[in-house]
A = this chain, B = another copy of it.
Amino acid sequence: MSQAAVVLLSGGLDSTTTLAIAVAEGRRVHALSFAYGQRHDVELVYARAQARRYGAVAHEIVGLESLGRLVAGQSSLIGGSGLEVPKGRDVEHDPGIPSTYVPARNTLFLSYALAWAEVLSAREIWLGVNAYDYSGYPDCRPEYLRAYERMANLGTRAGVEGTAVRLIAPLVNLRKHEIIARGVELDVDYADTVSCYDALVDSDGRPLACGACDSCQLRRTGFRTAKVPDPTRYREQA
């Protein structure tokens, strides 16, 4: 039987490509998504669609409403925070951590994945973090991932009994255009992914990207550099 894996799936470009790679490598995928009060929760509709498209064995959407409450007013990514998502930031050169940062987000996501992986006897957790074309979040770096893995294997029965869990981050050292090129090879339909931090939804329920937040900038440049037509619907065109 093929190997079981938990895949973190936001419904964005990176995690959908990660899902496609996991499936191409023969994993039995258990997809895991989170509703944490994110502005762009339309991404979850697309996470659901991609999990179905790639034949995930299961897809759980975990409600993290309490995370939104604990970090209230601290992250512009959370709806009702009273903060604006930064637009037109120089994402290539600004080394700072932007206001879209959500405290301990990946740590929390991975912790649910870790619990589920142990229950499923899955030895792999896949995630689409990326240390190059990213927003400057500390919890996307390889050293963080290694430290998480170490902690996870000291803190679980599976780890103690010798069936360690591994974090697999196939995109961690790729540039955005390389991620897109890999996804195109695997026939990923990027029209059905949502990256925009501030996505609106049109009257048909389809997302309209702002084109100016960090995530839109990275995605747009990625398609241009990869010389792949950008299927994203931007608000200015709508």
> Chain A residues in contact with chain B, CB under 8 A?
60, 62-67, 69-71, 74, 97, 101-108, 111-112, 114-116, 118-119, 138-139, 141, 143-144, 147-148, 150-152, 154-157, 159-160
A63 touches B60 (CB 8 A): no
**CA distance in complex: A186, B57 (Å):** 52
Q: A147-B147, A150-B147 are in contact. Are A115 and B104 (CB under 8 A)?
A: yes
A63 touches B62 (CB 8 A): no
Kindly list 18 other residue pairs between chains A and B, CB separation below 8 angstroms, not including A66-B112, A108-B112, A138-B157: A62-B66, A71-B116, A97-B157, A103-B116, A103-B156, A104-B112, A104-B118, A108-B115, A111-B111, A138-B155, A139-B154, A139-B156, A141-B154, A147-B150, A147-B154, A150-B150, A150-B151, A151-B151
Q: List 18 A-B contacts (CB under 8 A).
A: A60-B66, A67-B115, A97-B157, A101-B157, A103-B116, A103-B118, A104-B155, A105-B115, A106-B155, A108-B108, A111-B111, A138-B159, A138-B160, A141-B154, A144-B154, A147-B150, A147-B151, A147-B154
Q: A138-B160, A151-B144, A160-B97 are in contact. Are A114 and B107 (CB under 8 A)?
A: yes
A155 shortest CB reach to chain B, Å: 4
Closest to A139 in B: B155
Is chain A's binding surface mostly helix, strand, loop or mixed? helix
Q: Which B residues lie within 8 Å of A116 (CB)? A: 70-71, 103
**CA distance in complex: A75, B137 (Å):** 34
Q: A151-B144, A151-B148, A151-B151 are in contact. Are A71 and B115 (CB under 8 A)?
A: yes
A145 shortest CB reach to chain B, Å: 9
A60 touches B65 (CB 8 A): no
A156 touches B104 (CB 8 A): yes
A178 shortest CB reach to chain B, Å: 25
Q: Which B residues lie within 8 Å of A97 (CB)? A: 157, 160
A107 touches B155 (CB 8 A): yes
**CA distance in complex: A101, B104 (Å):** 24
Closest to A155 in B: B139
Q: Which B residues lie within 8 Å of A111 (CB)? A: 104, 107-108, 111
Closest to A72 in B: B119
A171 shortest CB reach to chain B, Å: 18
